[in-house]
Chain A
Amino acid sequence: MKILVCFKTVPDLEMLSEEDWAVDSNLAVDVSFVKNILNCFDESALEMTLKLSEYSESFNESLTLTALTIGDKKAEMFLKTLYALKFQKAVRIENNEDVRFFPEVIAAVIAQYVEKINNQDVVVLGRQSGEGDNAKTPLLVAEMLGWPCITQVINIEPSQEERLRVTSMVEGGTLIQVIDTPCVLSVGNAPVSYLRVPTLKDKMSYGKRAIEVLNINVFNIASLLNKCYHEYQLIGLEKISNHRAGILIEGATTAEKAKKLYDHYLKERLEKQ
């Protein structure tokens, strides 16, 4: 089974101080001073796929894993790591356009890659990225490929005959389905949130393979890009303030304070559970 995991690297916005959150005349925040990290949902998707690959081996089925990212050279460090973690192919599609808010462009590139360059049975993506927060790419990829899509995926396991056992979050619970491929899986808030770490030996043995670099111009997206530039206009950017309020509980003794905490804040919540 051939699986493509698409990921994005994003600036680590937590590193920005309050004063760094200045929006410039091009409606961008300067993030060139902070390091890049894997988008959190994509990191889950990558690790989940590696786990699936391990399980599949015990089913005597081997997976071919390809990792793909669209972006500049900064992402290559992550692709090298994925090679060291035994991804068979690592692909970067060179792009310097600002497509943060154009998920249809990204989706078109991914869909064309799958249809024309490297056929796949499954495409796995994180549900949204912290930068554009569009939450559309996986759904658009599925639509363009004409494949079914499962959203909010939190676990993927092997099943028989080219099928997968997929766990996803649905309203009020989790759903486990055995599904046929091809399909698109959109990874949500999964318990698996960190990518494993390759050993130095594996970095030396596997991490040095050449990354396949394709230019975004080889994909047929010029008219789509034009349309996006015309149809969407970025009007403003604002930092969401997530200051949290706090209450100081007063009391003469620790016991008194604990009782107040329990009576006023915890009791009702605990009873509801």
Chain B
Amino acid sequence: MSLTREQIVEGLVKILGSDKVITDKQVLQESSIDRFRKYEDVCGVYTQPLPAAVVYAESTEEIAAVLKFANDNTINIVPRTGRSATEGGLETVVENSVVLDGSRMNKILNVDTYNMMVTCQCGVSLEVLDDMLREQGYTTAHSPQSKPLAQMGGLVATRSIGQLSTLYGGIEDMVVGMETVFPNGEITRIKNVPRRATGPDIRHVIIGNEGALCYITEVTVKIFKYRPENNIFLGYTLESMKTGFEILREVMVEGYRPSVARLYDPEDGEYYFSHFAEGKCVLVFMVEGPKAIAEVSAKEIENIVQKHAECEKVNSQLIKTWFENLNWDPKKIAEEIDEIAQTQNIGFTTEVSGNWDVIYDIYEACCNRVREEIPDITMMGGHSSHSYMNGTNMYFMYYYNLVDITPEEEITKYHYPINKIIVEETIKAGGSMVHHHGVGKHRTHWIKEEYTSSYYILETLKKAFDPNGIMNMGTIIPIKK
């Protein structure tokens, strides 16, 4: 027999003490969603089942005890750290879920500047960590736009990626080792070594699990030398995205590794670049590292771009100023809520990836269809921000006016149909439907089409590590009806 809400709360209080168990209605409401349902937050209308409690764990042992209690009593757990999730990963879709918050586990445990790694608890804010490292001349080199919001546990759990990824990689390239707790309370540690060939790389079971397999309590990531004085910014305007993708490809294939390599279409670029590139695409690079390497890379990238007559170079200070204003802090989040409430205009993003031979087709098909098929669209565009040897990503941005709808219909009338177009077109072209935000709960409909025959591996992982189905149900894998 499943426990009542009251019994769940009682059990949690026994484990953690009443201080760490929150049942205030407003807190529960706000904890039932993430930024996928930000319009519900704007309207103060919450449609998801309210969790039984939000609990704050302060140690790995407390996480283990809560998970074991949940596992024994089949209570759905939604792991949480920085709360910047965008795809429904934090939604409490199961009745009487418990939100297990690790943000108080915020100690930086060890900075090892000889072996070049830093170990911290899951609730360490990336910005706090990186600011501390920078003071000592080091950096994590992880720089997602949500850097001021996100925390280390969530960043690893979502397979996040930062703006400097073309040089430093995604979080999966940065994680050295981890401590993780599984639903049965088992605490596991993967040690910190430079490489191993001891069977499959089990870090990848954990990285990107989105709280659907286990709880990440501690992370060790690489650190790098911080040398901003060597950064060189390059920016160009150009007519077509097609040329832009060709240039990105050439830069990658020729072996250059700028830290930032981005291509904006005119619609997406308008927000940032209207003062110098109205109606144009914008191509941006930043190179960094040891001075000599940075200088040579910049020169060679310039040579590649210069072969394309339509590219016009812009003052690099324009690009530096843009780069310094890219991140989102809590103030910006609050302003956005106010703006949505006043204008009834709201924007979201969907990020996908594809090989070089299909990325332009994906871009074009998605933009055309969304512009034609979705009502009240005010902006549809996007940029490529993470390039690889084989291809790149497309980060679609879209805004619409909310016309004649109830708060719930924001998703059914606009957001879902747009997501559907982008995901379907991407999968049809052979790309991946999620590049870095995670599957969350709203792209699970297409998970089998994404994985095809390898879905077997994913499903088996879930069955093996979470046999009772208590870890963030409905995330990555849809709930069977």
Contacts A15-B325, A33-B321, A194-B342; is A199 near B275 (CB within 8 Å)?
Answer: no
Q: Cβ of B275 and Cβ of A20 under 8 Å apart?
A: no
Task: Tell me which residues from 289 to 346 in chain B have a Cβ below 8 Å from any Cβ of chain A.
Answer: 315, 317-318, 320-321, 324-325, 338-339, 342-345
Instruction: Give a binary string over A25-54; 1 marks a CB under 8 Å from any B CB, 0 the rest.
Output: 000000011111000000000000000000
Chain A binding surface, main DSSP class = loop
Determine the residue in chain B with the shortest Cβ distance to A196. B343
**Any B CB within 8 A of the CB of A77:** yes
Given A35-B273, A35-B274, A36-B274, A20 contacting B377 (CB threshold 8 A): no
**Closest chain B CB from A28 CB (angstroms):** 15
In the complex, the answer to whether B275 meets A74 with C-beta atoms within 8 Å is yes
B47 within 8 A of A: no
Complex interface residues of chain B between 151 and 184 (CB less than 8 A to chain A): none
Complex-state Cα separation, A35 to B276, whole angstroms:
8
Q: Is the CB of B317 within 8 A of A197?
A: no
- What's the nearest-Cβ distance from chain A to residue B342, in Å? 5
B342 touches A197 (CB 8 A): no
Contact with B376, one of A36, A192, A199 (Cβ below 8 angstroms): A199
The answer to whether the Cβ of B378 comes within 8 Å of any Cβ in the partner chain is yes
A17 partner residues in chain B, CB cutoff 8 A: 321, 324
Query: Nearest A residue to B325 by beta-carbon distance?
Result: A15
B278 interface contact, C-beta 8 A: yes
Q: How far is the CB of B272 from chain A (nearest CB, A)?
A: 7
Whether A200 contacts B377 by the Cβ 8 Å rule is yes
- A35 and B277 CA atoms in complex are apart in Å by 11
How far does the alpha carbon of A193 sit from the alpha carbon of B339 in the complex, in Å?
8
Instruction: Check A34–B321 contact: CB distance below 8 A.
Output: yes
The interface size of chain B toward A, counting residues with CB under 8 Å, comes to: 28
Most buried by A among B270, B272, B315, B317: B317
State whether A34 touches B275 (Cβ < 8 A): yes
Check A20–B321 contact: CB distance below 8 A. yes
CA distance A87 to B270 in the complex (A): 21
A263 to B376: give the CA distance in the assembly, Å. Answer: 50
B379 within 8 A of A: yes
The 0/1 profile, CB within 8 Å of A marked 1, for residues 12-27 of chain B is: 0000000100000000
- Alpha-carbon gap, A197 to B344, bound state (A): 9
User: A196-B345, A198-B378 given as contacts; is B19 within 8 A of A253 (CB)?
Assistant: yes
Which residues in chain B, 270-286, are within 8 Å of chain A measured between CB atoms?
270, 272-275, 278
B371 touching A200, Cβ below 8 Å: yes
Please encode chain A, from 180 to 206, with 1 for each CB lying within 8 Å of some chain B CB and 0 for all others. Answer: 000000000000111111111100000
Q: Which of B318, B344, B380 contacts A200 (CB under 8 A)?
A: B380
Among A32, A33, A197, A201, which residue has its beta carbon within 8 angstroms of that of B345?
A: A197
A77: contacting residue among B278, B321, B342, B343, CB under 8 A: B278
Does A254 sit at the interface, judged by CB under 8 A?
yes
List which B357-416 residues lie within 8 A (CB) of chain A: 371, 376-380, 399, 401
- Contacts known (A196-B343, A200-B371); A36 close to B275, Cβ less than 8 A: yes
Q: Which of A15, A17, A200, A254 has the most CB of B within 10 A?
A: A200
In the bound complex, do residue A197 and residue B343 qualify as a contact, i.e. CB atoms below 8 Å apart?
A: yes
Q: Can you name the residue of chain A whose Cβ is closest to the Cβ of B19?
A: A254
Closest to B20 in A: A254
| Least Cβ–Cβ distance between B145 and chain A, in angstroms | 16
Closest to B380 in A: A200
Q: Which residues of B contact A193 (CB under 8 A)?
A: 338, 342
Give every chain A residue within 8 A of B278 (Cβ-Cβ): 77
User: Shortest Cβ distance from A140 into chain B, in angstroms?
Assistant: 29
Q: How far is the CA of A32 from the CA of B314 in the complex (A)?
A: 12
Q: Take A15-B321, A194-B339 as given contacts and tell me if A199 and B377 are in contact as well, using a CB distance cutoff of 8 Å.
A: yes
Question: B342, A33: Cβ atoms under 8 Å?
Answer: no
Knowing A194-B343, A200-B378, A200-B380, the reply to whether A35 touches B272 (Cβ < 8 A) is yes
- Say how far A163's CB is from chain B's closest CB, in angstroms: 27
**Nearest B residue to A255 by beta-carbon distance?**
B19
Residues on B with beta carbons closer than 8 Å to the beta carbon of A200: 371, 377-380
A15–B319 Cα gap in the complex (Å)? 12
A194 partner residues in chain B, CB cutoff 8 A: 338-339, 342-343
Cα A196 to Cα B470 in complex, Å, equals 44
Known: A199-B377, A199-B401, A253-B19. A77 touches B274 (CB 8 A): yes
Can you name the residue of chain A whose Cβ is closest to the Cβ of B371?
Answer: A200
CB-based contact A35/B275 at 8 Å: yes
Interfacial chain B residues near A198, Cβ < 8 Å: 378
What's the minimum C-beta distance from A98 to chain B, rounded to whole angstroms? 18
Using Cβ atoms and an 8 Å threshold, which residues of chain B touch A16? 321
Inter-chain CA distance A16–B325, complex, in Å, is 9
Q: What residues of chain A lie closer than 8 Å to B399, measured between beta carbons?
A: 197
Q: Which residue of B lies closest to A193 (CB)?
A: B342
Alpha-carbon distance A254/B270, docked complex (angstroms):
46
B274: A residues at CB distance < 8 A: 35-36, 77
**Shortest CB–CB separation between residue B320 and chain A, in angstroms?**
8
Q: How many angstroms from the CA of A196 to the CA of B341 in the assembled complex?
A: 11
In the complex with contacts A194-B343, A197-B399, A199-B401, A33-B380 CB distance below 8 A? no
- Select from chain B the residue with minimum beta-carbon distance to A203: B378
Query: What are 12 A-B contacts with C-beta separation under 8 Å?
Result: A15-B321, A33-B315, A33-B317, A33-B318, A74-B275, A194-B338, A196-B344, A196-B345, A197-B343, A198-B378, A199-B376, A199-B378
Partner-B contacts on A (CB < 8 A): 14-17, 20, 32-36, 74, 77, 192-201, 253-255
Other than the given A197-B378, A200-B377, 15 more pairs (CB < 8 A) read: A14-B325, A15-B321, A15-B325, A17-B321, A32-B275, A35-B274, A36-B274, A77-B278, A193-B338, A193-B342, A194-B339, A196-B344, A197-B343, A197-B399, A199-B377
